Structure 1
């Protein structure tokens, strides 16, 4: 799931390695936790907060955090276009946020036991599951979760927040966003978010149309639900089914375009006043495909191996779901 936000705090790197021997009877990937980025971030943060000179702040943060960061941090920075100045701007603008989220970042590890169970279930659903690295990283107010190649990148400074985090220094739009996001219990759903993003590491093909992108996200939600037994506590999950007919009509008009803004990664600034309804549409398509498939294991395999760059293949998948058929 690619939810937008950010601020400071934790970097735990979970590397999920495939069994060392192909014939191993244990299908569960091993989880290794590396937490060195967490300590590095907060050391750099403290150094920056006690230094008044901007040039010195840049040098300290670069040397103490970025230059010594894990591959996960490098990937996260590339994926979200983070720079040393992106971080420093966030630190200077929202110190109350960072100070109050700081103790919560130590709680991220509690999701790891649940994640291991979900990954075992995911491998049962899809035996060809490829190993992926799951990195819990510190961002700068832009992402709670994304992927790059075989790396899952979780912005823990967002994903561990709750109502205790001080949003008072943020502008109204960010304050609204974080308030709604924290109401979804992100820490309690961190294992679900990580599972959703692991699914993304299995998918392939660049998405050129809105239709391809919503299927890509909806498949990740659907398969993650199969592995975890639940969906995220986000508004689109309940708003979508209650307003399905109107959503479907509006989506048909936009689905072949390249503008995602009305449907994905958009906050509530759209015609329905509910964020990310493209996730609901994609989930409904995936669910319809699965329900109509005689072979459920083959349906999961087809979802995860769909080439999203092949628009004809995407359309055939959507057609097989019957979700967008005229009623």
Structure 2
């Protein structure tokens, strides 16, 4: 038992270093579709639990069982998710078996997602209203090992449902405390999908490598997701009272080629500070424009991030809204 707990701890330490909700697939996307043609694909969840049920009864052959019944039967979305996120069948199997009780406990809540379809469709339609040239790919619901609740590929939107599984009825008594802290509410799934559909449509934004660029890329997905669905993908409650402090730090580092220290939680700032900073910059820009369609159009076609920052008047926005 002690050996198993040590293995869980080492896996979780790795999880806390790697876990991210951001989209890192940086390819030019060609697919163009309208909202009604976007399909919600859940076959990978069904395949996962077929493999899971067999693997937990035959742990010696678990890796080959996951390979046969989950990965080899996988959708194009799962194939891409494996390449960019999972990467190792051995480590995937080790993680899933280490947290077997968790995966079993969420089975009924992620095996049927039909009730969320209307909200996803509504958010897609709202995005099209704001951005008529938007493209709407298929949405793949997958099961991973707590590395990402959402990303994109040329196939579409890839959603890691194991990180979006908590419900009011969840029996969390035996959940690991880090798993419990990271897992999002199941009802949050349409917001994660909204965040990722924005990333899928960011191909007209100029590429870059600075903290400012990355923050606006992530923060704009947060801001527009809130416009179309009413919520951000992340929880920013820990930023209350620290807004000016974080902005002053950001000003000093915005032109550096850094990101991790602005993504992970530290003594200096809460987790996802880069996301929050980009989100606030976009909100500040919107306050200057007062036109949601033009704001979305301007954001998704940024050529000069420093100029966009200047036009946002974000420092005045922060002072006005969060100053003492």
TM class, shorter-length: 0.7 to 0.9
Which of 112, 137, 143 aligns to 1:138? It is: 143
Which of 86, 95, 98 aligns to 1:90? It is: 95
Could you tell me which residue of structure 2 aligns to residue 288 of structure 1?
Answer: 284
Could you tell me which residue of structure 1 aligns to residue 260 of structure 2?
Answer: 261
- The verdict on how the C-alpha distance between 1:230 and 1:34 changes in structure 2, with shifts beyond 3 A counting, is closer
TM-score, normalisation: structure 1: 0.80
Please state which structure has a larger fraction of its residues in helix.
2
Could you tell me which residue of structure 2 aligns to residue 201 of structure 1?
Answer: 200
- The verdict on how the C-alpha distance between 1:306 and 1:78 changes in structure 2, with shifts beyond 3 A counting, is farther
- 1:101-124 CA distances to partner (integer Å, 9 max, x unpaired)? 212212433221101011111000
The answer as to 2:55 corresponding to 1:34 is: no
User: How far 1:71 sits from its partner (Å)?
Assistant: 0.5
User: How far 1:134 sits from its partner (Å)?
Assistant: 1.4
Which of 33, 58, 72 aligns to 1:18? It is: 33
Could you tell me which residue of structure 2 aligns to residue 218 of structure 1?
Answer: 219
- The verdict on how the C-alpha distance between 1:50 and 1:33 changes in structure 2, with shifts beyond 3 A counting, is same
- The verdict on how the C-alpha distance between 1:52 and 1:195 changes in structure 2, with shifts beyond 3 A counting, is closer
- The verdict on how the C-alpha distance between 1:111 and 1:297 changes in structure 2, with shifts beyond 3 A counting, is same
User: How many aligned residue pairs are there?
Assistant: 289
Which of 100, 113, 138 aligns to 2:118? It is: 113
User: How far 1:324 sits from its partner (Å)?
Assistant: 4.4
The answer as to 2:62 corresponding to 1:47 is: no
Cα-Cα RMSD:
2.6
Distance 1:295 1:91 in 2: 46
User: How far 1:213 sits from its partner (Å)?
Assistant: 0.8
- The verdict on how the C-alpha distance between 1:70 and 1:150 changes in structure 2, with shifts beyond 3 A counting, is closer
- The verdict on how the C-alpha distance between 1:240 and 1:298 changes in structure 2, with shifts beyond 3 A counting, is same
- 1:3-30 CA distances to partner (integer Å, 9 max, x unpaired)? 9379xxxxxxxxx9735xxxxxxxx423
Preserved contact between residue 41 and residue 141 of structure 2 (Cα < 8 Å): no
The answer as to 2:131 corresponding to 1:126 is: yes
- Structure 2: give runs of 5+ residues left out of the alignment: 1-17, 22-30, 320-324
Could you tell me which residue of structure 2 aligns to residue 4 of structure 1?
Answer: 19
Preserved contact between residue 72 and residue 151 of structure 1 (Cα < 8 Å): yes
Preserved contact between residue 86 and residue 92 of structure 2 (Cα < 8 Å): no
Provide the secondary structure at the position in 2 that maps to 1:80: helix
Provide the secondary structure at the position in 2 that maps to 1:147: strand
The answer as to 2:191 corresponding to 1:192 is: yes
- 1:46-98 CA distances to partner (integer Å, 9 max, x unpaired)? 12112242xx3322221111111000101111221432112211122111111
